[in-house]
Amino acid sequence: GQFDPMVPDAECLKVVTEILDAIDIGPYVLKVNHRRLLDGMFEACGVPEDKFRTTCSTVDKLDKSPWEEVRTEMINEKGVSPEAADRIGEYVRLNGSTELADQLLKDEKLSKTKAAIEGLEGIKLLLDYCELFGIKDKILFDVSLARGL
């Protein structure tokens, strides 16, 4: 069928929260991000397009490894310049909600990148739907999330 953008994504998050609440696992948060934002961020930071996916897989390690290790891998193993890695580091340590998406839409570098704008607008829309579904308090927009996008 036809759906507005991000509605199916928000509905999936709603179902997941219902399941997690029903099995009473305790406090939790679901992290979300947008592939287009990551692509736009890499572009804005000066990562060559052919290195987007490998850089993405390295960024995804931030949930288990400190930034310095991730940065070193980006530079030494993935061929990302130290300057680009440092610019990426400014973004991937951010997380929040709609306010963060609004802030990033005004960012000097990201606001010039079509993919980043599309991703941020998508995240804002997703978070708006999550608010309507009453689950926004369980959703975290995490710029470092790269797995499964």
What are 108-129's pLDDT values in tens digits? 999 999 999 999 999 999 999 9
- Indicate if the pLDDT at residue 2 is higher than 80: no
Per the CB < 8 A criterion, the answer to whether 1 and 70 are in contact is no
The band of 147, judged by pLDDT with boundaries at 50, 70 and 90, is confident
- Pick from 99, 51, 107, 106: which is nearest to 75 by CA? 51
Whether 144 is in a domain gets the answer no
Kindly report the number of other CB atoms within 10 A of residue 110's CB atom. Answer: 22
pTM of the predicted model as reported, rounded to 2 decimal places? 0.91
Q: How many residues would you count in the chain?
A: 149
Say how many domains are in the chain: 1
Residue 23 lies in a domain: no
How confident is the model over 74-95, as a mean pLDDT? 96
Residue-wise pLDDT for 28-62, tens only, equals 999 999 999 999 999 999 999 999 999 999 999 99
In a domain, 21, yes or no: no
Helices marked H in 77-148:
82-92, 98-105, 114-132
In a domain, 95, yes or no: yes
Pairing of the two strands 30-32 and 95-96: unpaired
Any residues with CB less than 8 A from the CB of 45 and at least 6 apart, and which?
Answer: 84, 87, 88, 91, 109
Is residue 97 situated within a structural domain? yes
Residue 20 resides in a domain: no
In a domain, 50, yes or no: yes
Residue 74 placed within a domain:
yes
pLDDT of 148 over the 90 cut: no
Q: Which strands sit side by side in the sheet containing 30-32, from one edge to the other?
A: 30-32, 139-142, 95-96
Full domain range(s) for residue 108: 7-12+28-139
